[in-house]
Chain A
Amino acid sequence: QQPVQSPQAVILREGEDAVINCSSSKALYSVHWYRQKHGEAPVFLMILLKGGEQKGHDKISASFNEKKQQSSLYLTASQLSYSGTYFCGTDPNAGGTSYGKLTFGQGTILTVHP
């Protein structure tokens, strides 16, 4: 089943923060986050594993709440380059049975204005 992302779209000014949520009705073992700019291929951001800690690089970080089966992506002090569509991909399988079969959410469109 497809995970649900919220919000569907968000508009920011440079320097503002945003949170994108990804919720699943199935138990998850890993959540992947990708960013896709218009007309381009998705680019990998990070993977979060069940039982793992919050991850991040630069001003983008993410967390994984096992009880809620939800992951959140945090973008702080947004830059123009953060604009794009953010997708979460979920995998209910543990390492030995995971072949990277991801189910992606419908995407969240993030627009950052000067």
Chain B
Amino acid sequence: SQTIHQWPATLVQPVGSPLSLECTVEGTSNPNLYWYRQAAGRGLQLLFYSVGIGQISSEVPQNLSASRPQDRQFILSSKKLLLSDSGFYLCAWSGQGGFQPQHFGDGTRLSIL
């Protein structure tokens, strides 16, 4: 069966520090991968999605970036974190093609001080 791993579960970082969140998927190949951010009490905002290795599409201009160095690995990064980057970050995967359910990782709760 397919599983998705996301780490760390919680992270406290100072303003201006770098960020690296990692997500890996097991049990499937060539998945679509997604990074979402969820502010407290709010909906899910799509940040990036990828349909293949090295292919990244950005949905929201910001100081975050994403990379997909391997088929089932998705990384969210920042060179300098802002206070507004605080939130709950979720990685998700789906099968290729349209109308596939998305399966979410357990998320990373990021607090910027």
Contacts and interface: CB of A to CB of B under 8 A. Distances in A.
Contact of B98 (A44, A95, A103): A95
Which of A32, A49, A94, A105 has the most chain B CB within a 10 Å cutoff?
A: A32
B43 A30 contact: no
B98 A94 contact: yes
B42 A100 contact: no
A22 B45 CA distance: 16
Interface residues of B, number: 24
A87 B90 CA distance: 15
Given A41-B90, A99-B51, A104 B102 contact: no
Contacts of A97: 98
Interface residues of A, number: 29
A5 to B, nearest CB: 8
B61 interface: no
Interface of A: 2, 30, 32, 34, 40-44, 47, 49, 87, 89, 91, 93-107
Interface of B: 32, 34, 42-46, 49, 51, 57, 59, 90, 94, 97-107
